[in-house]
Amino acid sequence: MEELLSDEATVRRDDRAHVFHSWSAQALIDPLPIARAEGSYFEDYEGKRYLDFSSQLVNVNIGYQHPRLVEAIVEQARRLCTVQPAFANDMRSEAARLIAELAPGDLDRIFFTNGGAEANENAIRMARLHTGRFKVLAAYRSYHGATLGAITLTGDPRRWPSEPGMPGVVRYFGPYTYRSAFHAADDAEECERALEHLREIISMEGAHTVAAIILETIVGTNGILVPPPGYLEGVRTLCDEFGIVLIADEVMAGFGRCGEWFAVDHYGVVPDLITFAKGVNSGYVPLGGVIISPAIAGSFDERPFPGGLTYSGHPLACASAVASINIFKEEGIIEHARRMGAEVIGPGLEALAERHPCVGEVRGLGVFWALELVRDRTTREPLVPYNAIGESAAPMGELAAACKSRGLWPFTHFNRLHVVPPCTISTDEAREGMAILDEALAVADAHVQGR
């Protein structure tokens, strides 16, 4: 077993003394020190293993410590650790070529960033400069990152403390049939009314002022909201009609998470820009980017693109992306993720819903799923309120604790339990996790009205 740098007590002490954690009240947290990980599991300093149903932050698509991916990083580090973006580099070129080859339609140019927020920032910049317009339409139920522009694009409450943010962002409601903003009775009606709503917003804002519509192809943290049939095609039609750039944020949904290379592949839609990060190399080294259409790339043939990053296309990160994409191809990970969703995870979660009255809806595909938890299936009252904190959030806290005590690390957000394990998870591991969920959901059932 590899030697650890510090013992658990030292790690905890130094973390609390010196590390400033994101999205946290610093005095109220006690982060769990992690010693090692492999495959679908990570382990604490006491040797307790956790089956990771969160893929950390829904990014460890290839699983932990894949030996070929680790070796690719080590090999690149021995040869060339870093080179600035103005030079050409073999790993940067090959990563761009492979990503362009996978991208839908004619998208074939890659601008590399360090992560998803920077990708969305630069996509917005490209859209505004390409169109000469200013406004960007962004959905309420969305997350696009925590930099100034990205957090302004974000629709969920994480943006509130950063307001006012980047000017020019206009909100719209995306489809969400279970909790329809349009009082729709089914997916078909939800699709129709959501598209009518979007068209009306474009009209009211002035189509000639709208540079882009940004959307998560499948909404991630805000609910694993799979769009109804026809919706994305309808948004593409609206963008074509009014000369608006369509930006698909695939930071979470891309690279196998939904059982395809990109979630848009499920719908046959070709955006103008695709933003990516996370799954491209499973977060082994920070990397993100924008996949760009020829039309938008052509806007910068004779004028400079006014943006750049010291670590854009970092050789270590690009080497990990090259290795990851090749591993995905050679080990059939895309096909595996698709099969796991259709044959194991989806049916398994539906079976849980039949046994547990707290489950209002199951939705997802690939290895990207959510259980919407409720107090009453008839009224659809959420198990905890929107943006619940403190005592009002207690039922979800109890559920998470029940999972962790049994060796399962969950992903929870508001009243939802997300099931987002690595794309490489085995059938037995997935069933092990769902068996633990079966036990833990009894905690949530206790809060169902009438029980």
Q: Left, alpha or beta for 332 (phi > 0: left; psi -120 to 50: alpha)?
A: left
- pLDDT given for residue 2 in this prediction: 64
The two structure tokens encoding residue 59: 């990014």
Q: How does residue 443 score in pLDDT terms, banded at 50, 70 and 90? A: very high
Residue 153 CA, distance from chain mean position: 15
Alpha-carbon distance values, 281 to 111, 221, 223, 274 (Å): 16, 20, 24, 16
For range 244-262, the mean pLDDT: 98
Query: What are the structure tokens assigned to 6, written together?
Result: 């510090």
Q: In this model, does residue 451 exceed pLDDT 80?
A: no
CB 340 within 8 A of CB 367: yes
Write the CB contacts of 187 (distance below 8 Å, at least 6 apart in sequence). 175, 177, 228, 229
Question: Is residue 112 scored above 60 in pLDDT?
Answer: yes
**Is the pLDDT assigned to residue 26 strictly greater than 80?**
yes
Q: Which residues of 156-167 are buried (b: 16+ CB within 10 A; e: fewer)?
A: beebeeeeebbe
**Domains along the chain?**
8-65+332-445 (3.90.1150.10), 68-330 (3.40.640.10)
Residue 1 has pLDDT above 60, yes or no: no
CA distances from 18 to 15, 21, 32, 146, 386 (A): 5, 10, 15, 22, 32
The alpha carbon of 113 is separated from its chain's Cα centroid by a whole number of angstroms, namely 16
Cα(395)–Cα(447) distance, integer angstroms? 7
Q: Which two tokens stand for residue 133?
A: 């317009």
Residue 116 banded pLDDT, cuts 50, 70, 90: very high
Rounded average pLDDT over 414-426: 98
Distance CA 255, CA 116 (A): 13
Please give the Cα distance from 108 to 259 (Å, whole number): 22
Give the mean pLDDT of the chain: 97
pLDDT value of position 449: 84
Q: What is the mean pLDDT of residues 217-230?
A: 98
Q: Cβ–Cβ contacts within 10 Å for residue 405, how many? A: 12
In percent, the amount of the chain with pLDDT more than 70 equals 99
DSSP β-ladder status, 408-409 and 49-52: parallel
The pLDDT, as a whole number, for residue 402 is 98
